[in-house]
Amino acid sequence: MNKTIRRASVFTLLLVFALLIRATWLQFYDGKALAEDNDNRRNVIQTYSQPLGNIIVAGKPVTGSARTKGGDLAYKRTYTDGPLYAAVTGYASQAYAPTQLEGIYQDLLNGTDNRLKNVLDTVTGKRAGPGDVLTTIDPAVQKAGYEALGGKKGGAVAIDPKTGKILAVVSTPSYDPSTLTDANTAGSAWKRLTHDKDKPLTNRALRQPLPPGSTFKLVVAAAALEDGLYDNVNQHTDSPDPYTAPDTTVPLTNENKSAPCKNASIRVALQYSCNNVFGKMAVDLGQDKVRAMAEKFGFDDDKQDVPVRAYASVYPSGMDKAQTALSGIGQFDVTATPLQMALVSAAIVNDGELLSPHMVSRITDGNGSVLKDYGDDTDTKRIVSSRTAAQLRSAMETVVKDGTGTNALIDGVTVGGKTGTAQHGENNSKTPYAWFTSYGKSGGKEVAVAVMVEQSDAARSEVSGNGLAAPVARAMMKAALKG
């Protein structure tokens, strides 16, 4: 073979190898990327080629699937009591990415989760039957919160302190996920919902951190008792009324001018929600000690998955003493979600221990076999001592019996709580936020509930944690403890 032919043969062989490498790359790398591309229509066709698995509440599905009347998508998602459970389920849409539990368990619900496949499915690449998601939601508690919030803009969370199970996740105003499921009609619904000034797509229970106001005083009180700044909730504090923080000339005053807040004990200060006491207490402790206690309760955790990821509640850093005083009453840059404030009450009523919150109990395959039981993964964390928790419970029960939280009273139930009315806008120019965090105990059962009302039809003078939020918490606690 002469040199020219040999060189041509080598070059031709190199071209063949290049084509083989390119084909292999396309099939095993680019092919996978193309198959997983969100814009690949074939993925949507496959997802909706069969009914989806269901999200279950108290043994009954609150989701379903219905045959479509035409086109290449055979099925679409349906919802039972869609607005009631929207903050739990989210939506599965032919046009938009799924949210909430629909999004987290998308692969399980559409049958592509590898845990659903048997050996034959793995070999053949056949799509398995879909699985189901079983929630911890109590329909009675969910409905009680949803109806009690009514036309108000707000959020609420209820938790079983003994297990960490989330019994209710309520956000109002809500929306009907069914309006977003069909690709042919979803566009107009999406435009309407995203342009609505009340933001119904926002999950206010988990993803709307706002200033918690005086409900945060429980965290400051916990820090003071754990640190030894005060020995018990009945010891008088060193608290002038009004209190002027260092480096400022503006005094920290109290809403109730006649309340006995001067040098008040922690019990009395919680009972009358004395700003002077907790503003000074935060300064005396220092922001680092307050932050350490807040973080034990869950503040500043940007990976709080329940399993939907909640937005982080925040205790700020780098404050001066005047700002630290404001943080002690849940103002300045302190923010919290209803979930976070429910966790505060849950730890207090559970003798100082906090179980990791979760709203999914287990996931199963199409035959009901358990793929994962989330009750097995529940962690328990000591937040405060048993003694501190008992002291705080005693004071919170005084708030409900004889203080600012009387609207949460329930016959035959031990109720503890803390109200909050958080300033909103420059110089408190906008309607304040109304808060209530609480717990109820009866017949061996316990529940912790936190409610935030962002906006209501009430006159500004009538906006308070006791007036707007406590009745919602009361309705949810009654539903959880009935029988």
Task: From the candidates 214, 345, 442, 464, give the one annotated as an active-site residue.
Answer: 214
Which amino acid is it at 7? R
CA proximity to 215, closest of 385, 329, 333 = 329
CA dihedral angle for residue 196, residue 202, residue 208, residue 214, rounded to 10 degrees: 70
CB atoms within 10 A of CB 10: 10
Q: Are the beta carbons of 130 and 46 closer than 8 angstroms?
A: no
What residues contact residue 14 under an 8 Å CB cut-off, 6+ apart?
none
Alpha-carbon distance of 207 to 146, in angstroms, equals: 17
State the number of CA atoms in the 13 A half-sphere of 3 facing the CB.
Answer: 0
Rg, C-alpha atoms of the chain: 27
What residues contact residue 27 under an 8 Å CB cut-off, 6+ apart?
none
Kind and range of the H or E element at 89? helix 82-89
214 is catalytic: yes
Q: Are the beta carbons of 449 and 342 closer than 8 angstroms?
A: yes
Alpha-carbon distance of 85 to 222, in angstroms, equals: 34
Name the 3-class secondary structure at 107: helix
Alpha-carbon distance of 212 to 226, in angstroms, equals: 22
Alpha-carbon distance of 243 to 264, in angstroms, equals: 12
Q: Are the beta carbons of 55 and 88 closer than 8 angstroms?
A: yes
Q: Are the beta carbons of 191 and 103 closer than 8 angstroms?
A: no
Alpha-carbon distance of 475 to 168, in angstroms, equals: 12
- Which region holds residue 125: left if phi is over 0, alpha if psi is between -120 and 50, else beta? left
Alpha-carbon distance of 444 to 439, in angstroms, equals: 13
* Phi, psi at 185, each rounded to 5°: -120, -5
Provide the 8-state DSSP code for 262. Answer: T
What residues contact residue 7 under an 8 Å CB cut-off, 6+ apart?
none
What angle in degrees, to the nearest 10, is found between the helix axes of 470-481 and 139-149?
Answer: 160
Provide the 8-state DSSP code for 40. Answer: -
Which residues carry out catalysis?
214
